[in-house]
Homo-oligomer: A and B are copies of this chain.
Amino acid sequence: MNNYEQWVGIDWGTTNVRFWLLATNGTTLDEVVLPLGMNTVTSGQYENIILDTITKWSLRHTPLRVITCGMLGAKNGWFEAPYLTTTCDSIDCDKLYSVQTNSSTLDVKIIPGIANYRPTYDVMRGEETQIKGFVTQNPDFEGVLCLPGTHTKWVHIKNSIIVSFQTFMTGELFDLLSHHSVLRHSVDTQLVDEEEFINAVDDTLSRPELFAQRLFYVRARSLLANTSKEKATSRLLGTLIGTELAGSKPYWLGHKVALIGSKKLTGMYQRALDLTGLETEVFDATENTILGLKYVHDRLAKEIPTNN
């Protein structure tokens, strides 16, 4: 029987990958972030990237337990870990994907993503781990989760189980528009004017159908009224988040909302949701990802580890 004293957690995103060296109790001992997301890595490279990264930690234990989530389990990732399907637990330890590594020093598990077939097709990979982290800490939470990001998720949970979810491409739209569209001349990705942001959310919540017109308005106003980049950026952000809130209303209306994400993003969603009079609470994404990974680690530690 192996002794898993230290272990490694990995969240492999589309643009970045994050490695954590973790103690048995879940304490983070070290963190490494690399710009080697799924978009830039081929399936043959994953194992070497993991081995290269953990070398510096000089880990004694063989095999080393590595618990992973995110896009490495996608069709174009390392190995495709088949989706769980809603209604389901956010993580089912009987459905982990055990990777056949070339190196015998690694014992890698991939946490599967989740698919939603009704009322609409939808998928997540990575967020299920944050959700598990959240529900382990908040088992009595009744309400809706919102995980803002490139592909923002709205998740309906009941008794800690995922009932359904919907994704909004809000973050990706912001990146595309601010870097690649005609709006790139008018905006700056760093600046936020609070009043302008709130006005834009308010305008868009009530007239979401004007989305594509409100985008061009950002450009036209900067040409005709010399609007600052700060105002233009805030208008764009408010238009995007306001449109999303109009569309996700069936999720949040009348519910308590837990926002899980980065400080900056959850702050914006919280201020936008304040307009609706909603009660919101903010939780950190990294913290909950690690809690979700630890949930898997703890479950596996109770079993007699096998090398598959």
Contacts and interface: CB of A to CB of B under 8 A. Distances in A.
Interface of A: 14, 75-76, 83, 115-117, 120-123, 151, 166-170, 172-173, 176-177, 180-182, 185, 207-213, 215-217, 219-221, 223-225, 240, 243-244, 246-249
Contacts of A209: 208-209, 243, 246-247, 249
B216 A151 contact: yes
Given A208-B209, A209-B209, A216 B167 contact: yes
Nearest to A179: B180
A217 B122 contact: yes
21 contacts: A83-B224, A120-B220, A121-B220, A121-B221, A121-B225, A122-B216, A123-B223, A167-B213, A169-B181, A169-B182, A170-B212, A173-B215, A176-B180, A208-B209, A208-B211, A209-B247, A210-B247, A212-B240, A213-B244, A213-B247, A213-B248
B121 A169 contact: no
B117 A224 contact: yes
A75 B222 CA distance: 12
Given A209-B208, A224-B115, A225-B121, A216 B169 contact: yes
Contacts of A212: 168-170, 173, 240, 243-244, 247
Contacts of A181: 169, 172, 176
A170 B216 CA distance: 10
Nearest to A153: B216
A116 B223 CA distance: 11
Most buried by B among A75, A209, A249: A209
Given A120-B213, A208-B208, 8 more contacts: A116-B220, A120-B220, A122-B220, A123-B219, A123-B220, A169-B213, A172-B181, A212-B243
A223 B83 CA distance: 11
A123 B224 contact: yes
A169 B247 CA distance: 20
Contacts of A169: 181-182, 212-213, 215-216
Top 7 closest pairs, chain A to chain B, by CB: A208-B209, A209-B246, A168-B212, A121-B220, A121-B221, A167-B216, A209-B247
Most buried by B among A120, A169, A217: A169
Contact of A224 (B121, B166, B172): B121
